[in-house]
Amino acid sequence: MRLLDFNNSYSPTGGGIRVYHHRKMEYYASGEHEAALAVPGASPGRESDGSALIYRLTSVPLFRSGYRLTLQSGPLLDVVNDFRPDLVEIGSPYIAPRLARSVLGEGTPSVGFFHTNYPESYVGPAARRLLGEGAACRLTELAWRHVTRTYSRMTAVFAASRSVLSALHRVGLRRLFLTPMGVDTDLFNPRRRSEEFRRDLGITDGRQLVLYLARLHWEKGLDLLMEAYPGFRDPSRVVLAVGGRGPLDSTLAGFIRRYPEVRRLPYIPHGQGVAEAMASADVFLSLGGTETFGLAGLEAMASGTVTVFPDSYSGGEMARDSGVLPPFAPGSPDSLCEVVKQALDLSGQVTPSLREFALDRGSWQRSFQWMEACCRQVIRAGNAGDMKGLEPPGKWWEP
């Protein structure tokens, strides 16, 4: 197979989408199949790693977000003509599906990987802040209709959690595949715990470390954390450390001026630094209420660290599946505060259970082996024009 991923939501500075694509390129670099990744770049170009290729497409910056957008079909057409894929995976909404459709036509099967829950992550919250609850509900519904129109035109849809599949099924999509991501349990491991890391943050005399490490954005629950913090604040026992970059940087700076005991971490690129931070924490906060998989939370659990999730989408799913700590009520600072307190009480007692849960979820290799099988099925059905054959009966993903 020749597999091409096209994703406008890729950022070179981090995020779960970047991790997914880089792990995928590593997997295919030494495999029997050929893979390529097409993403926006500051300048066009092509690089190779074994049998895996990365194409950088002409693009424009998306304000100061760290993301870029490819807006025209020409660069993607050049990639398709050069690589000649058997299947194209489209990893971002909005512009990318239209560009891919104009390039591929009906000739090449395509898969939409629903990485971003944009109706609930962006459209609804932005409308709620600007226009009020009634308008937010209407615009969120319109965004879900856009999901239906966009993804129904693809051969199939991949999603990494059962909760997301349920949402996609609810809006009328049927050619659905459950394709969970993996976790690097060698990198994310309790053995990475560092007393030096803790001492540098002033974690001494039995104090506990609560870690928030994410993009600084309300989508990732930072505003909720700032509201909840006074409820579990106890500088003599608990240290909150916040890492990441994003549009709420200045808001966070004001929060730290009010609470100077909160530690501000420098940017830590994904890899050993993040693994060390996660393993060194007593509690990890995975607060995004619309996560489609929650990779950072799973990495924290692989590190043996008690992880706090909201009872929403993949967060609630992962919390219930692990059975270690109940999720908190979405949008409730009081509920978050209570669950953080429970998590602090559990720290150090449930490391083996958390580690076992992460190991059971599977490696990246196992995830991509499963996705390979799904891709073969989609290619066969797409080439044969057998779309109905990709519709499994009922809500087969539910336990």
Q: Mind listing the pLDDT tens digit for each residue in 194-238?
A: 999 999 998 988 899 999 999 898 889 999 999 999 999 999 999
Where does the pLDDT of residue 396 fall: very low under 50, low under 70, confident under 90, or very high at 90 and above? low
Domain match, 260 and 383 both:
no
- Is 204 inside a domain boundary? yes
Same domain, 176 and 201: no
- Residues in Cβ contact with 331 at an 8 Å cutoff, skipping those fewer than 6 apart: 224, 289
Question: Are residues 120 and 212 both part of a single domain?
Answer: no
Domain harbouring 357, CATH code: 3.40.50.2000
- Using pLDDT thresholds of 50, 70 and 90, give the confidence band for residue 50: low
Same domain, 117 and 207: no
For residues 248 and 344, state if they share a domain. Answer: yes
Provide the number of structural domains found in the chain. 2
**Helix, strand, or coil here: 23?**
helix
| pLDDT at residue 354, rounded to an integer | 95
Rounded Cα distance between 299 and 275, Å, is 8
209: in domain: yes
Tokens describing residue 190: 């309790």
Helix (H, G, I), strand (E, B) or coil at 189: coil
Does residue 394 surpass a pLDDT of 80? no
pLDDT band at 61 (very low <50, low <70, confident <90, very high): confident
Residue-wise burial string across 293-314, b where 16 or more C-beta atoms lie within 10 A, e elsewhere: bbbbbbbbbbbbbbbbbbbbbb
User: pLDDT at position 226, please?
Assistant: 97
When pLDDT is averaged across residues 372-392 and rounded to a whole number, the result is 88
Sign of the C-alpha dihedral, residues 118, 121, 125, 126?
negative
What number is the average pLDDT over the span 49-61? 83
In-domain check, residue 396: no
302 belongs to a structural domain:
yes
Specify whether 247 is located in the same domain as 295: yes
Name the token pair of 156. 């199939």
Most confident of 34-43, 120-129, 245-254, 335-344: 335-344
Q: Is residue 220 part of a domain?
A: yes
Q: What is the 3-state secondary structure (H, E, C) of 338-360?
A: HHHHHHHHHCCCCHHHHHHHHHH
Task: Note whether residue 227 is domain-resident.
Answer: yes
Q: Determine the average pLDDT of the residues in 348-376.
A: 92
For residue 348, the model assigns a pLDDT of: 87
> Angle at the Cα of 221 (from 219 to 223), degrees rounded to 5?
105
Are residues 358 and 345 in contact, defined by beta-carbon separation less than 8 angstroms?
Answer: no
Using CB atoms within 10 A of its CB, is residue 212 exposed (0-12), middle (13-18) or buried (19+)?
Answer: buried
Q: Is the pLDDT of residue 31 over 90?
A: no
Same domain assignment for residues 198 and 167: no
87 shares its domain with 23: yes
User: Is the pLDDT reported for residue 398 higher than 60?
Assistant: no
Whether residue 287 sits in one domain with residue 199:
yes
Q: What is the mean pLDDT of the chain?
A: 91
CA dist 357 and 160 (Å) reads 17
Give the distance, in angstroms, between the CA of residue 97 and the centroid of all CA atoms in the same chain. Answer: 19
On whether the pTM is more than 0.85, the answer is: yes
**397 within domain boundaries:** no
pLDDT at 249: 92
Q: Give me the mean pLDDT over the 264-288 stretch.
A: 94
- Measured CA to CA, the distance from residue 293 to residue 318 in angstroms comes to 9
Residue 215 and residue 83 in one domain: no
- What pLDDT was estimated at residue 333? 97
Q: Are residues 75 and 131 in the same domain?
A: yes
The answer to whether residue 389 scores a pLDDT higher than 50 is yes
Percent of the chain with pLDDT over 70: 97
> Which tokens in the block code for residue 376?
């073969």
Compute the distance between CA of residue 317 and CA of residue 116 in angstroms, rounded to an integer.
Answer: 17
For the residues 89-94, what does the mean pLDDT come to?
Answer: 92
Q: DSSP characters for 34-60?
A: EEEEEEEESS-EEEEETTEEEEEEE-E
Which of 39-53, 292-306, 338-352 has the weakest average pLDDT?
A: 39-53
User: What pLDDT sits at residue 15?
Assistant: 77
pLDDT bucket at 399, cuts 50 / 70 / 90: very low
pLDDT band at residue 306 under the 50/70/90 scheme: very high
Q: Looking at the structure, do residues 217 and 150 belong to the same domain, yes or no?
A: no
| Encoded tokens for 209 | 């470390």
Average of pLDDT values for 247-254?
A: 93
Contact 363, 183 (CB under 8 A): yes
Tell me the helix, strand and coil percentages in the chain, rounded to 5. Answer: 45, 15, 35
Residue 234 lies in a domain: yes
What is the pLDDT averaged over residues 366-376? 93
**Per-residue confidence (pLDDT) for residue 143, from 0 to 100:** 94
Q: Is 43 exposed, middle or buried (0-12, 13-18, 19+ CB in 10 A)?
A: exposed
What domain range includes position 246? 190-361
Beta strands in the chain (DSSP E): 2-6, 34-41, 45-49, 52-58, 60-61, 68-69, 87-90, 110-113, 156-159, 176-178, 208-213, 238-243, 263-264, 283-285, 306-308
> Quick check: 393 pLDDT over 80?
no
* Residues in contact with 294: Cβ distance below 8 Å, sequence separation at least 6, in sequence order: 161, 286, 288, 309, 314, 315, 318
